[in-house]
Structure 1
Amino acid sequence: IVVIGYGTQKRRNVTSAVSNFDARALSERPVGRVDQALVGQMAGVTVKQTTGALGKGMSVQVRGSGSITAGNEPLYVIDGFPLATAAPNGSGNFSLGNPLDNINPNDIESIQVLKDAAAAAIYGSRASNGVVLITTKRGRSGKPAITLNAYTGYMERSRKLDMLNAEEWIDRSTEIINAQWVASGPGRTASQTNEQRRQILSLPVGQVNTSFMTDDRWYQPGHPGLRFIDWQDEAFRKGLTQNYQLSASGGNESVRYYVSGNYTSQQGMVIYTDYTAYSARMNVEVNANKRLKFGLNLNPTYSVNNDPGVEGKDNILHQMVSFTPVQEDSMGLYPNVGDFGQYRWSVSPNSPIGKLQYTTGETKRFRTISSVFGELQIIKGLTAKTTVNLDNIDNSSKSYVPYIIASNLATRQAQLTAQTSGSFNSFRKQTLVNENTLNYTTTINGVHDLSLLAGHSYNQDKIDRIAISSTGGFSSAVITTLNAANGISLNRDNTNEARNVLISYFGRLQYGFNNKYLVSASIRRDGSSRFGANTKWGVFPSASVGWRVSEESFLKNSSLISDLKLRGSWGTAGNYNIGDYSSIPLLGGYNYTFGGAGVVGQAPAGITNPDLGWEKSETFDVGFDLGLWRNRLTMAFDYYTKLNSDLLLNVPIMGATGFNTFLSNAGSVRNKGWEVEITSRNITGRDLQWTTYLNLSHNRNKVVSLAGGQNQLLIPSAFDISHSILQVGQPMYSIFVVRQIGILTQDDLNKGVALYGSETVGDPKYFDAKNDGVIDANDRVIVGHPTPDYTWGITNNVRYKGFDLSVLVQGQNGGSIYSLLGRALGRTGQGFTDNALGFYRDRWRSPDNPGAGVVSKAYSTFGRIKNTDWLYSSDYIRVRNITLGYDIGKGLKLKPVQGMRVYLTLENFFGHDKYKGGFNPEALNTDVSGSSVYPEPGDYGGLPLPRSLVFGVNVNF
């Protein structure tokens, strides 16, 4: 039996693409989040662990990315409660809450993913990215069953970024300073001593110019007065993790219950980061009589996440790896903090250790998911059900940056209170859903199986926000609340309220003849307040057919083929993930002059589009399910093509309107691919069992059309020129940079090769794509794309008597990642003596010592255009999980104990990739984009994945 939308169905009768995850494995493996359990488990379901930060959700995509601006996360349905999610922002953070936040994985009974539109269309306008159905555990009649699951262990970084050590930094900095000195005037040579340079510069005794002079202590034995520091070793740690879960279930013919409680405590792999969560669950079903049933699901959760701002552009992780590894010994780990000044040859800001220790970044979230339902059997086979669901999220976050880690020493001393800053943000998000269904099932003459579904749904989302921030006014490093500020000066404060309503009508027909020929069709009509006056309603039909060939007489008695089903499907679904008021006229604040005085006023903030409607997806799918040798070997194969059209894009318009663009349905993207899932029961003995699960997916993504007939659209970058592009015929967000083809030699200069700026020998050599003799932004070409071509996973489960072993290996191939962090760590302009990536050991030093021939010299007089020097393959293979367990319950002979299992788990201990520009080839920091509309991918300082070792015990009473 598998769960489908608004019902269940026998697996053998399913005619659409549905993947199933047996959540019983969650009780045998410590998993912190539900989405973590899905990594590498299903074909066509890509789960990216984009960050190692605590409490952050993962990126889940079903059959690729189809939307450019409206998000690609699936719809989650938890015990029949549909919960949409917005796309994650930078560092994997779902700012308005991820439906999977704080849900205890041990409460999960089963997970199904509806991958094609025929399966998902019953959810209409929210299903174009697929649907994840999660069913939690229920009580069963019988004596109470109590389960305790506890584990503890540690987590640490899975890798260390290769940076120059202190000695290597001194070598590179000396090279930079000498180059700057030689270039600063005639008669100046690298061999001149600091004293000679001081005299040439007419500096007083004891004064230095750090641009042209080195620190004499660098070269003295023991480096007196200096301290060599590996900032990564100081900032990362082994963090304690622990989890305790207790559940009880049972009941009788009238009442069944399942209750549980969960406590999680995690110390982050970065010092001064931690995460604590509490959750409880109560699922109760009551049979009032033979025809009437009631139920209640209640799931309150509470979490506290302390993160001072580790990930992302210019945040602490970026500063940690770039921070100068040589410091004054007297400052210890706190240069430029409090009363300490800055090491003169350090161009970095305040100590990253100081920032981690003194910065406050706290997020608290209280959430309750609740459902009540009543179910009445009107006549035999006809059931009416009504459900009321409520998801309430109360979220608050505050930050505080004290003056002791702000600016420089002189400014801190002169402007004590002006250097503090803080903020407070909160929101309350409520989702109310009422659904009413009629379901009729019958079998006619023993050969005609018929199931009919009709339903109505009302969905309301409401969110209230408050935000306030201040720079200056704080006078205490201990009292961090804004009401403690003295003479507070606000730089941002606002309140916001938004609401949207979705009304739906839906139906489905399922028919089977003689257990061989299967037909299914569904339709849904959605009306949303988010869309224009002319397009508020959308219709989403689907149909699928199946033929159970193995039930035909010519195969029914086959000893080879035990099951064979051919199936095909077509369907449409939608995506309504845009702003609540994007289709109606809004007012924005504008100042103007009236009577010679400035007046605050309001004016339209954009152009109204009454035709703004849903994004649509249309999917065709053909596949088969195969079982061999009495299902010792089973396989599911699908080939699909999915066209996402009417994509929400900003269309250029005439400037005479007062605006540059307006939001419209104007683009399309196609995903095409295949996927296969194989289960092999290799050994099925009494004492020894061995099962292998394999899944493999291939997906190709292509932009089909853009707004206004454009051929391409450059994605604005947060800095410098764009490095991502949407181009017709190419994958979404293709990487668009200049191609580096080597290092310039004197021979290249003599031949007159194209140069970027005032390049000379030892600088990068670029490909002149335009063949115009000049290297500039016009020479950018598409060099890769962020979406992998292949994703796969292999799980082997072995059981021998009381022992069990599970090994999950997972990987991806064919994608690329662009490292903005690597670019920031490779700056070569004047004064850039921050630390650099380790491959700068093999840099060009002279024509006689060109190094590896791919890394340019340490110093240049100009910046560097975005190029393939920071382009990496995102391919990886990773042993995600190894769990070894032993069942010792029977040997204990303790009367209350029905079973006991102890286990040891290794997570992310082994793996291989070629990514040298950061910690994680799956990293995704969307804050590298210069536009809030386009979530440009890239890595600007994503944390490494945590490597963990955990010991646990399961006890059944």
Structure 2
Amino acid sequence: MNSVTIIGNIHDIFARDANGNLMAVGERGRVNPVSVIEDIKQRQETNRIIANANLKLYPVKNLTLDFTLGVDNSGQSGSTYIPPFAYNVNPDFYGGGAALDGTLNGYASAATNNAFQFNNEFNATYQAKLSELISSTTQVGYSFQYEKTRYQLVNGRGLAPLIETVNAAATQLPSVDGRTELSVSGGYIQQNFKYKDHLFVTGALRVDQSSVFGADNRTQEYLKGSLSYVLSSADYWKSFDVSNWWDTFKIRAAYGESGNLTGIGAYDRINAYSTQSFLGRASLFSSATLANENVKPERQRELELGTDLSFFKNRLGLQFNWYNKKVSDLLIASVQAPSTGFSSLLDNIGSLRNKGIELVLNGTPVDGKDFKWNTSVVFNRNRNTALDVGGLRLFSTNPGAPVAIINGEAIGVFYGTFFARNPDGSLLTNAAGIPQIEKGIQNSATTFTPQRDANGLPTGTTLRKVIGNPNPDYNMSFVNDFTYKKLNLHVQFDAVQGGNVWNADWRTRQGVGNGKVAEQEQLGELPRGYVAGVYAIEEWRIDDGSFVKLREISLSYNIGKLKFLRDLTVTVSGRNLISWDDYKGYDPELNSGGQSTILRNIDFGSVPIPRTFSLGLQVKL
């Protein structure tokens, strides 16, 4: 995707030389995206076995013993091949060819990744009736999980024509041989009491161990408790007039603790050394992160209050949750003085608080003999805040997104340079009409004092502030199911309101080649030098990530019995069909940071979520 977005559309990416080889594009010989498609080969094969067994025993009345054993064994192999000189490059752009990238001489790699996961779980449940009104359920259990992985990579540059194997490479690059082994085990005891069908009380204690942490912090204890009361099942409820149309009224409260038992790698707490060849001899080098044997798992504590309601013969239902969740002992790398020989230290620093509400509304507006309509609306709103994390923590990212953790701000905010503005909020420009970057005195991470020179232009130190927040204001889903006789229609809309995206792709495209912003400058609609003037202002790359998507439409028809078939259902469906948004890139629902909870809503070479269609048959013989 980067090779697509970084070049201007004025270039002929399908141009070939006399030998039929694709040409480089752009004045700097950019990677040709057509060459990536045609010439580069990347393959992956996966062999995987997932198996489990379950044994359930009833040795005495009311006692159940349940044992589950599971195994997941997978092997992956992959290879990459970039042929030598996949496309021709004008050597004049590279000083006579002296600075040609090594991959143009061919590159090959081969990798394997083997993972073995084993888990077993034992649970014992004893149910007893203490009286005519009170019943008890006691549970104890133990679980053990083990994981062992091995990753190997060999690669090299400089290949002869038509040779795709690594051992033929002229330059063998450093190989990788990574091995990990870890285990997580734990036991619990839980007690539940029920009074009639009105009152439910639960308490539990769990003790876990994880091998990735040091001996002093390996064992952790977690508590859990909950209480719920169903008013509508009590005898006095029937005496209320509302009971004629108010079917269910339940209130509940819960408190729970948990830990991030695999929050670090298997050996991250140890100062392990890596090896590489140096002048024909084996050498050792240390990681830049100083390990810490005393780190402990992040601990999460959550309080939740809620209610469940239903009305009009259960035609209308409402669920409401309020939660307050705090994650303490965050695993964050703190900056170290270079004189220590390390750049960071793995440590437990500060905490994160999440507060929010969850609302679910279910309804059946139509419930006829042939036609039925079920609908539901889901609403979520969450606010998170970093607490006691010390000074500003700025994370470097490959797309250049200035991601930070700041006391009192949401996790992963964008913290960078911004536009200077006039008192009325308009952009401050110089005499040529080019927007200016704000300057002045940076008092703290979140406070500053702008300064102006005699000409009214910014002067002093370049200032920084929170310029965007990837966390949305709220999320919503709207789901409808329509049934007419044997025909069923499912329609789902998803919405995200608020939440900013660091859009490196769109700004890159629009500032070069025939991009819209560059085109406006070239046509004189913007002053000469506009793109160069705003390019260093990081606020220019912040976009609105709000959207409404037609997530899914599914239409199914139950044909029923058909000759030798007992039942046949045909389904056609489509996902991610339409997106309504003001995002200037391809898709606001993305993240180049992968599954990271800190690096969010970053657009740089991200492939848009695909629009997919499927046809399915469900057959019962």
Tell me if 1:820 matches 2:504: yes
Q: Partner residue of 1:466?
A: 152
Q: Secondary structure at the match of 1:554?
A: helix
Q: Secondary structure at the match of 2:3?
A: helix
Tell me if 1:530 matches 2:212: yes
Residue pair 2:436, 2:533 contacting (<8 A) in 1 also = no
Q: Partner residue of 1:736?
A: 415
- Structure 1 residues 933 and 482: alpha-carbon distance in aligned structure 2, compared to 1, 3 A threshold: farther
Gap regions ≥5 residues in structure 2: 440-447, 453-457
Q: Partner residue of 2:483?
A: 799
Residue pair 1:715, 1:936 contacting (<8 A) in 2 also = no
Write the distance in 1 (CA, Å) between the matches of 2:394 and 2:451.
Answer: 22
- Which of 705, 714, 721 lines up with 2:394 in the alignment? 714
Q: Partner residue of 2:47?
A: 366
Structure 1 residue 845: deviation in Å?
5.1
- 1:383-394 aligned within 5 A: 383-394=64-75
Name the amino acid aligned to 2:472: P
Query: What TM-score do you get using the length of structure 1 for normalisation?
Result: 0.58
CA offsets, 1:821-847, max 9 Å, x none? 1232244xxxxx5342x455555855x
Tell me if 1:555 matches 2:232: no
- Which of 608, 612, 617 lines up with 1:948 in the alignment? 612
Residue pair 1:526, 1:539 contacting (<8 A) in 2 also = yes
Name the amino acid aligned to 2:367: T
Write the distance in 2 (CA, Å) between the matches of 1:417 and 1:670.
Answer: 47
Q: Secondary structure at the match of 1:919?
A: coil
Residue pair 2:23, 2:87 contacting (<8 A) in 1 also = no
Write the distance in 2 (CA, Å) between the matches of 1:475 and 1:413.
Answer: 19
Structure 1 residue 449: deviation in Å?
2.1
Q: Partner residue of 1:518?
A: 200
Name the amino acid aligned to 1:640: Y
- 1:661-672 aligned within 5 A: 661-672=344-355
Query: What TM-score do you get using the length of structure 2 for normalisation?
Result: 0.87
Name the amino acid aligned to 2:78: S
Q: Secondary structure at the match of 1:403?
A: coil
Write the distance in 1 (CA, Å) between the matches of 2:489 and 2:528.
Answer: 51
CA offsets, 1:96-137, max 9 Å, x none? xxxxxxxxxxxxxxxxxxxxxxxxxxxxxxxxxxxxxxxxxx
Structure 1 residue 426: deviation in Å?
1.4
Tell me if 1:398 matches 2:79: yes
Q: Partner residue of 1:925?
A: 592
Q: Partner residue of 1:163?
A: none
Tell me if 1:904 matches 2:572: yes
Q: Partner residue of 1:422?
A: 108
Q: Partner residue of 1:915?
A: 583
- Structure 1 residues 319 and 340: alpha-carbon distance in aligned structure 2, compared to 1, 3 A threshold: closer
Name the amino acid aligned to 1:944: P
Tell me if 1:617 matches 2:303: no
CA offsets, 1:513-568, max 9 Å, x none? 11111111121111111112211100011101011111122324611221111000
Decide which structure has greater strand share: 2
- Which of 310, 323, 327 lines up with 2:7 in the alignment? 323
- Structure 1 residues 553 and 778: alpha-carbon distance in aligned structure 2, compared to 1, 3 A threshold: farther
- Which of 498, 502, 511 lines up with 2:180 in the alignment? 498
Q: Secondary structure at the match of 2:563?
A: coil
Q: Partner residue of 2:545?
A: 874
Write the distance in 1 (CA, Å) between the matches of 2:296 and 2:451.
Answer: 44
Q: Looking at both structures, which has the greater relative contact order when contacts are Cα pairs under 8 Å and sequence separation is at least 6? A: 1
- Structure 1 residues 740 and 808: alpha-carbon distance in aligned structure 2, compared to 1, 3 A threshold: same
Residue pair 2:572, 2:613 contacting (<8 A) in 1 also = yes
Write the distance in 2 (CA, Å) between the matches of 1:391 and 1:810.
Answer: 34
Q: Secondary structure at the match of 1:765?
A: coil
CA offsets, 1:326-378, max 9 Å, x none? 446xx8455799645446x6445242112111111122222222111212111
Residue pair 2:48, 2:73 contacting (<8 A) in 1 also = yes
Name the amino acid aligned to 1:569: A
Name the amino acid aligned to 1:437: N
Residue pair 1:503, 1:527 contacting (<8 A) in 2 also = yes
Name the amino acid aligned to 1:536: R
Q: Secondary structure at the match of 2:5?
A: helix
Name the amino acid aligned to 1:674: I
Residue pair 1:888, 1:900 contacting (<8 A) in 2 also = yes
Q: Partner residue of 1:578?
A: 264
Write the distance in 1 (CA, Å) between the matches of 2:39 and 2:461.
Answer: 42
Write the distance in 2 (CA, Å) between the matches of 1:874 and 1:861.
Answer: 25
Residue pair 1:373, 1:388 contacting (<8 A) in 2 also = yes
Name the amino acid aligned to 1:806: H
CA offsets, 1:301-321, max 9 Å, x none? xxxxxxxxxxxxxxxx22223
Name the amino acid aligned to 2:606: G
Residue pair 1:541, 1:572 contacting (<8 A) in 2 also = yes
Name the amino acid aligned to 1:883: S
- Structure 1 residues 456 and 954: alpha-carbon distance in aligned structure 2, compared to 1, 3 A threshold: closer
- 1:761-780 aligned within 5 A: 761-768=432-439, 770-773=449-452, 774=458, 778-780=462-464
Q: Secondary structure at the match of 2:607?
A: coil
Q: Secondary structure at the match of 1:786?
A: coil
Structure 1 residue 776: deviation in Å?
8.1
- State percent identity of aligned pairs: 22
- 1:777-856 aligned within 5 A: 778-827=462-511, 834-836=513-515, 838=516, 840-843=518-521, 846=524, 849-850=525-526
Residue pair 1:472, 1:488 contacting (<8 A) in 2 also = yes
Write the distance in 2 (CA, Å) between the matches of 1:444 and 1:845.
Answer: 86
Tell me if 1:566 matches 2:251: yes
Residue pair 1:785, 1:816 contacting (<8 A) in 2 also = yes
Residue pair 1:499, 1:580 contacting (<8 A) in 2 also = yes
Structure 1 residue 860: deviation in Å?
5.9
CA offsets, 1:565-606, max 9 Å, x none? 1000111101122111122232345999xxxx9975446645
CA offsets, 1:228-282, max 9 Å, x none? xxxxxxxxxxxxxxxxxxxxxxxxxxxxxxxxxxxxxxxxxxxxxxxxxxxxxxx
Write the distance in 1 (CA, Å) between the matches of 2:539 and 2:469.
Answer: 12
Gap regions ≥5 residues in structure 1: 1-316, 828-832, 851-855
